[in-house]
Structure 1
């Protein structure tokens, strides 16, 4: 009889440790029917393990206290539900190879993280591709790309910087970002070759 008020409040609590400027993005992400992400800095948050996420937040400047780090880690882990949701969304990632070799948290944490990527990539609706470091140029040298499709089939593009992020309101810019991502996928290793490479990197640790 609360007309959805309790459910809405629960969702807010689940993401209560998010920086304010990421709240709108995560709300759209949770219900998206398609999600596409290019990343050149760290493993995308929705793919991070507990150990990896904890070390990412431990590097925050200015430093976060233990309670804040734990809260942010649990909030990040809650986002994993999208990958197991039914009906399944269409999900793809393009990652720079340097992201897979940066030893955040040490070799043990990185190895666990890489094995988690392999597990997620076994899901039929998820593709993970690696951009080879030997490629001289590609379509996303300007930085990370976050693309979503809503249940109403509206295409959204989100850009993020050091201390802020916002949705792209201009339709032409959104179209450009979706085009760049399509080119990026064609320029990266195939999903099959990417998984072979991730497995080789993990085995070498």
Structure 2
């Protein structure tokens, strides 16, 4: 767990404590319990100590072996809520409420548009490297955010992507091809506008980093930018105006949506 995620740490610690109490109540040692549910003794200790997040199947098996009558399995819902990093949960909650979402991405393809394979390659390329469990957790979190496309009524979403990341065959030909297919699929949605910033554009307002804008039904908004306000979320009207001006200028300089899709389809045809 993230050490600053107080609520998440508390939930996982409580779940671990309940598992340990149940195990000890039936007289099972950690090694015996692990063998009974198909997990190692070391993992049992880590989960009971609040150091690891149990998977749903772990809680299901624990419930059966410890004859908990569904009490342990019921904790899956609490665990599910804290499975993803706090900053991802916070962002996903805001995206789930937004009626308008605008994203400019400069160094990679937006997380809302990534395929699982593309996201996994990105996380695996990080230095120092993440553990396999961390990679899987972050990929799952990124994919969970994409439920925003399934909302009804659907929010209005606009993306501006730099041409270079779209052209980069990250993960090899098949991963790249599937990613291009995903861009075309999302770009054709009625509530989505997808644009590409061409490499021949000499300068534009997004050269200092990513921009996000989220607008809500009550008229409020939140924005964030790598190159402004220390990358902190801002809701002050003056600061929001600055981000909206930059994002609007970027959209005006990017290829129109139809031309952007044509470019992506051409790349797809070349793979």
Same fold per superposition (TM over 0.5) = yes
Q: Tell me, in whole angstroms, the C-alpha distance in 1 between the residues paired with 2:164 and 2:153.
A: 33
Alpha-carbon distance, 1:159 to partner: 2.7
State which drifts further: 50-59 or 164-173: 164-173
Report if aligned partners of 1:15, 1:75 keep a CA contact under 8 Å in 2.
Answer: no
Aligned positions of 1:30-41 closer than 5 A: 30-41=96-107
Alpha-carbon distance, 1:42 to partner: 0.9
Q: Tell me, in whole angstroms, the C-alpha distance in 2 between the residues paired with 1:137 and 1:12.
A: 46
1:103-128 CA-to-partner distances (Å, cap 9, x unmatched) read 22112111110101101111100010
Q: Which runs of 4+ in 1 moved over 3 A?
A: 9-12, 20-23
Q: 1:15 to 1:79 in 2, by over 3 A?
A: farther
**Structure 1 residue 13 corresponds to structure 2 residue 90:** no
Structure in which a larger fraction of residues adopt strand: 1
**Corresponding residue SS for 1:167:** coil
Partner residue in 1 for 2:191 = 125
Partner residue in 2 for 1:192 = 258
C-alpha root-mean-square deviation of aligned residues, in Å? 2.0
Higher relative contact order (CA 8 A, sep 6+): 1
**Corresponding residue SS for 2:203:** coil
Alpha-carbon distance, 1:21 to partner: 3.8
Q: Tell me, in whole angstroms, the C-alpha distance in 1 between the residues paired with 2:231 and 2:80.
A: 21
Q: Tell me, in whole angstroms, the C-alpha distance in 1 between the residues paired with 2:183 and 2:136.
A: 22
Alpha-carbon distance, 1:91 to partner: 0.1
Q: Tell me, in whole angstroms, the C-alpha distance in 2 between the residues paired with 1:187 and 1:77.
A: 30
Partner residue in 1 for 2:214 = 148
Report if aligned partners of 1:130, 1:194 keep a CA contact under 8 Å in 2.
Answer: yes
1:117-141 CA-to-partner distances (Å, cap 9, x unmatched) read 1011111000100011101111222
Aligned positions of 1:132-143 closer than 5 A: 132-143=198-209
Q: 1:176 to 1:165 in 2, by over 3 A?
A: closer
Aligned positions of 1:4-83 closer than 5 A: 10=77, 13-14=80-81, 16-18=83-85, 20-83=86-149
**Corresponding residue SS for 1:202:** helix
Partner residue in 2 for 1:3 = none
Count of residue pairs the alignment pairs up: 194
1:18-67 CA-to-partner distances (Å, cap 9, x unmatched) read 2x444432221122111000011111011110110111111122211111
Q: Tell me, in whole angstroms, the C-alpha distance in 1 between the residues paired with 2:120 and 2:186.
A: 19
Q: Tell me, in whole angstroms, the C-alpha distance in 2 between the residues paired with 1:185 and 1:22.
A: 26
Alpha-carbon distance, 1:188 to partner: 0.6
Q: 1:53 to 1:146 in 2, by over 3 A?
A: same
Q: 1:59 to 1:15 in 2, by over 3 A?
A: farther
Unaligned regions of 5+ residues in structure 1, if any? 1-8
Q: Tell me, in whole angstroms, the C-alpha distance in 1 between the residues paired with 2:95 and 2:83.
A: 16
**Corresponding residue SS for 1:17:** coil
Please give the TM-score of this superposition, normalised by the length of structure 2. 0.67
